[in-house]
Every structure is written in structure tokens, then in C-alpha cells.
Structure 1
Amino acid sequence: MSGPSASAMRDYLELVRAPAVLTVLGDTLAGGAAAGHPVGGRRLALPLASACLYAGGMALNDYADRGIDAVERPERPVPSGRISPERALGAAAALTVLGLGLSAVGGGRRSLAVGAPLAAAIWSYDLAAKRHPVPAALTMGVCRALDVLMGTGTADLRSALPAAAAMGGHTVAVTALSRGEVNGTDTTTAAGAAATTALVSASVLAGAPRSWRGALPVLAAVGVYAARCAPAQVEAARDPAARNALEATKRGIRAMVPLQAALAFRHGSTAAGLAVAAVDVLGKVLRARSARGTNREMSES
């Protein structure tokens, strides 16, 4: 691959927040586990549908925020001039269409019937809702809940509602915290996020299988989830500075993966739980490689 092509690819991967895409792959697996769907076959297209819809939302986010980012985050692909606003919008549209197509492939019309309002919610968030704190958090929570429900399809929605509520509730808390990444958050918001983590953890454990063999994976995954995000949330409540809000947001996003695994294990799907756990390991490896690359560039500069 030539230098310019490789550079353009890196720019687009940065635009769609490629590493963060891993955090949505387990949504439909958790939803499918709640409905008793096996892992495999055409249903493997559903996590890819989630990834495309998420990536499209990230591209649309940078298109919509290009004015603000020019001041607050000028290094991003759009305000830096590496990707034009028109190309960012085109990428958002193409990824959304691809995501909807994959939802139809993986779950037929029943999953597409959930994917369509999910796509609408994503675009509504980026173009309007995120400008207002409460609608922004609620809309993001709805997006994550619908992503879980896309894994069940309209015929099995009721069975996956608790899993969707857990993921949606966690997302609301993380989104509220994320608004303080630049100027700081407040103690109430950060404490509310910590309380949400405790509530979500308790709700997942309450539905765990009664046998030790079934309960242990759930307990382990919930433990990883809470340990990953709760300390940073508590620290942000103690000191609501921007750096702490940013760290709590990052950890809250990464904590979604073990939460998805816990939900899959809770519903008895070992295959789905292990698949999500593998995604978590992959995310750690990629972050470590990225950190090494950044450190090497800094030492050579």
C-alpha cells in the first residue's frame, strides 16, 4: 500500500474511532443470548451491523461538530483538513446504509425493523439531541438499548428488555459524564454514574443462574465491569476536573464490553460470553500497541 493511501486509511480509521467500535460488537450477542439465539451462521452479520452503524455515527459526529472541534479539538481529521466535511458526511451515510443492510442479512426483517429506528436515533443524536444535556444522554441510552434489541429482532423483544435496559442505563451515565471532558463535570453527575454502575451490577447479578457453574462467569464479568469503571467515576465525583471526567468516560466506554459478556453469560450463552471476552482482550492488545507506537513517535521526534 502506498504512503498516501495508508495515510488516508489512518485518517478514516481515526474519524470513525476504530478502536471504540469494538465496544458495540457484543450488544447483539447479548441480545441474541437473551432470546436464546445461537452464535453463528447469518447472525454473525449483526455485530458487523452494529459496528457499521456506530462508525457511521462517529463520522457524522465529526461532521456535525466541525465548528466546535476547530476550537476544542483541531487535531481531528475534519478540522485539521485531512478529511473534508463532505467526505465525512458521505462516509456516515455509506456506513449507515451498510449497517442496515447487514442487519437485514443477519436477522431478516425483524432485526431491520429495530435497526432502522436505531439509525434514526443515531442521526438524531448527532444532528440535534447532543446539543442539550438531558436529551443527549437519553438518546444515547436509547441507541445502545436498540442495538441490544437488534440482536433479538421484533419477535423476541421482551426477553431482551432487561439486557437492553442495563446497557442503556450505563450508556446514559457515561454520556452525561462525557460532557465534562473539556471543561469538567460536577460531583452529582459523577456520583450518579458510580451509583448507576452499582445498580447495573446488582441487576445483572440478581438474574444470574443459581448454580455455581452458571453464576461464576457472570460474577467474574460483573466484577471486571465494576472494577474497570467505578474507581474512575468515584475519583471524578471527588474531583470533577476535566481530566477525571475524561478518564471516567474512557473507562466507562471500555467497561461496556465486560458488561455485555456478563449479560450473555447470565442468559446461559457461554459461546457469546466467551466471544465478547475475546473482543475485550483484543481491545487491550490494540490499545497497548497504539500506546507503544505513540511513545516511539514521541521518542523519535
Structure 2
Amino acid sequence: MSKGSLFAYLQLTRPANVVTAIADIWAGFAIAGAWTFMQVDWSQGAGDFWQNLLWLSISTIGLYGGGVAFNDIADADLDSVERPERPIPSGRASKKNAILMASCLLLGGIFFAFLVNIFAGLLAISIAICALAYDFWGKHQQLFGPINMGLCRTGNLLLGVAVAPEVLQKLWPIGVLPLIYVAAITMVSRGEVHGKNKNALYGGFGLYILVISGIAFLAKVQKPGSWEVFPFLILLAFMIFPPLTRAIQKQEPALIGKSVKAAVISLIIVNASLAAAFEGWIIGAIVLLLLPISLWLAKKFAVT
């Protein structure tokens, strides 16, 4: 495989986005209390902690990379008209090899999740099913499409929480926050090609506010009077609202695309905020370290 073709197949996996999926896992560990357990009982918890963190990080790389690659596979005919520069319609990547790669990534993601525990494995299967459902059907549904996409991200956050099954059984409703956030991104992105989707842009704006408010409420419940989450939420607002406001004003595809890109990358900040809400600003800052990596990759690979 030549260097050029390897780059084309990497493009299919959206590397910058994959980093945001890793942030889901790290935030899920915070919700599960795994970071605290590792610090409190280093001698007993360190080995299992790093092993499980590695397995689930690899798992989400496979699940996310395979899911978005199948999205391009499903859209190959449409992209030949609307986005002919993409890897498959441009001929830089073959559809057959892309299917093989995406299938291996999904199966690998499921395999590594089962190495942690059965709950993680079953969640990985659910994520793969949700991703394929969105790629080949859900994206075409006006109402269910954004929900379907949000369910993929919900499952990914809960995949991290699954490191502690007893916590997963209690706190699974927290998955509604990434569902709402990603549903908002999906709504906004529908104008990325043709523009003129003002109602969806306003809807996304409102949903982003709802997510920020929800995380602030969680921080209050977890640590009454805690301020640690608010710098992360301020950074999140700074990242997503200015480009979305410009998109609302002009409704141009290019501006909508920039708004979507900012919101996707900011998933890392959402996760850092959740980590800070549950385990303090230091863990939030650790998750936030993934942001410059994703931003760097976003300069080299398409995000949407």
C-alpha cells in the first residue's frame, strides 16, 4: 500500500474525531470513580486501571473508526456528486478494501471491550449496531437520525463507565447528555452542504445550552459549591457559540461546517467537564490534554 493510499484509508476513520471518542472513555472512567480508586489504592488498582484504560481506549478507536468509515462507504454514490474529493469517490481508496478495514475495526473494538468485562463487550456490540444503523438508515430520518447518532456517543461514554458495572447500573442515565449534544451537532450539520437551515441552527444552540446547564447541575450535585467544572464550561461555550452564532447570521455552508467542526472537537471539552464534575479539575485537565492532539489532527484530516 502506497503512502498516498494509506493516507486515504486513514481519512476514512476521521483521526481527529477518534481522539474525541477516547475522551469519552477517560470521562467514563471518572464517572465510574476509577481515577480516584487508582490514586487511593495504587498498589492494588494501578495495574488493572491502566490495562482496562488501554483496552477500552483501543476498543473505542476501533468502534469509532469503523463506524465513520462505514458512513463513507454508505455515502459513496452521493459523495461522487456532492464531495467527489473524498477517498472512495476519488478512487484513492477502494470500496472493497474500505469495507474490509471498517469491519476489522468494528470487530476489534468489540473484542477489546470484552477483555474488560461482559458489560463492556455488550455495550460495544450495541455501539457497532447503532453506528451501522445510522450509516445505512438513521441519517436519512428527520427525527430519529440525530437521536441515532447521539445514541452512539451515549454508548461510548457508558463504555468507559462499564469499567465499574455497579456504577453503570446506577448512573447510566447520564448518557443523555452526550446524546443531546451529538443530536445537536447532527441537526446543525444538515445545512453543511446547502445551507439555509436556520431552525436547526437555533435548535442546536438551545440544546448546547441544555447540555452545559446539565453538566453544571451535575457538578453541584456531586460536589455542592464546587467551582472546578466552570472553567471547562466557559471554554466549551467559547469554542462552540461564536462559530454557531456566525452560522445563524449568514446560514452559509462554509460557516455551518466550521460550527460543526468546532462542536465535534469540543466533545473533548464536554468530557473534560464531566470528568471535572465527578473527580475534580485535575482529572478534567488530564482529559483536556487530548484537545491539542485532536486540533493538530484536524489540520491534517477532515472532521466532517
Common fold: TM-score over 0.5: yes
Question: Contact 1:25/1:276 (CA < 8 Å) preserved in 2?
Answer: no
Report Cα offsets for 1:170-219 as digits up to 9, x if no partner.
0000011111110114221111111111111111112215467x522x11
Using the TM superposition, give the Cα deviation of residue 132 of structure 1 relative to its aligned residue in structure 2, in angstroms.
Answer: 1.8
1:138 aligned to 2:147?
A: yes
- Pick the aligned partner of 1:149 from 139, 146, 158: 158
Letter in 1 for 2:289: A
In structure 2, what is the Cα distance between the partners aligned to 1:53 and 1:198? 28
Question: Contact 1:215/1:266 (CA < 8 Å) preserved in 2?
Answer: no
1:14 aligned to 2:11?
A: yes
Structure 2, gaps ≥5 residues long: 39-48
Q: Which secondary structure does the structure 2 equivalent of 1:267 belong to?
A: helix
Using the TM superposition, give the Cα deviation of residue 119 of structure 1 relative to its aligned residue in structure 2, in angstroms.
Answer: 0.7
- Pick the aligned partner of 1:23 from 20, 23, 41: 20
Per the alignment, residue 66 of structure 1 pairs with 76
Using the TM superposition, give the Cα deviation of residue 113 of structure 1 relative to its aligned residue in structure 2, in angstroms.
Answer: 1.6
RMSD across aligned C-alpha pairs, in angstroms?
1.9
Q: Which secondary structure does the structure 2 equivalent of 1:116 belong to?
A: helix
The list of structure 1 runs, each at least 4 consecutive aligned residues, that deviate by more than 6 angstroms after superposition, is: none
In structure 2, what is the Cα distance between the partners aligned to 1:157 and 1:233? 33
Letter in 2 for 1:92: A
Per the alignment, residue 250 of structure 1 pairs with 261
Letter in 2 for 1:225: L
1:277 aligned to 2:288?
A: yes
TM-score by length of 2: 0.87
In structure 2, what is the Cα distance between the partners aligned to 1:116 and 1:12? 23
Identity across matched positions, percent: 27
Report Cα offsets for 1:23-52 as digits up to 9, x if no partner.
111112222211212373222221221121
In structure 2, what is the Cα distance between the partners aligned to 1:273 and 1:159? 22
Question: Contact 2:21/2:60 (CA < 8 Å) preserved in 1?
Answer: yes
In structure 2, what is the Cα distance between the partners aligned to 1:194 and 1:230? 8
Question: Contact 2:15/2:297 (CA < 8 Å) preserved in 1?
Answer: no
* Structure 1 residues 269 and 99, CA gap change in structure 2 (3 angstroms): farther
Between 1:219-228 and 1:157-166, the stretch displaced more is 157-166
* Structure 1 residues 138 and 185, CA gap change in structure 2 (3 angstroms): farther
* Structure 1 residues 185 and 156, CA gap change in structure 2 (3 angstroms): farther
- Residue pairs, 1:230-245, within 5 angstroms: 230-245=241-256
Question: Contact 2:16/2:295 (CA < 8 Å) preserved in 1?
Answer: no
Letter in 2 for 1:144: R
Per the alignment, residue 112 of structure 1 pairs with 121
- Residue pairs, 1:40-79, within 5 angstroms: 40-44=49-53, 45-79=55-89
Structure 1, gaps ≥5 residues long: 292-301
Between 1:35-44 and 1:169-178, the stretch displaced more is 35-44
Q: Which secondary structure does the structure 1 equivalent of 2:51 belong to?
A: helix
Question: Contact 1:62/1:78 (CA < 8 Å) preserved in 2?
Answer: yes
Question: Contact 2:20/2:265 (CA < 8 Å) preserved in 1?
Answer: yes
How many residue pairs get aligned? The number is: 284
Between 1:148-157 and 1:74-83, the stretch displaced more is 148-157
In structure 1, what is the Cα distance between the partners aligned to 2:64 and 2:297? 18
Between 1:114-123 and 1:8-17, the stretch displaced more is 8-17
- Pick the aligned partner of 1:123 from 114, 122, 132: 132
In structure 2, what is the Cα distance between the partners aligned to 1:119 and 1:34? 22
* Structure 1 residues 63 and 204, CA gap change in structure 2 (3 angstroms): same
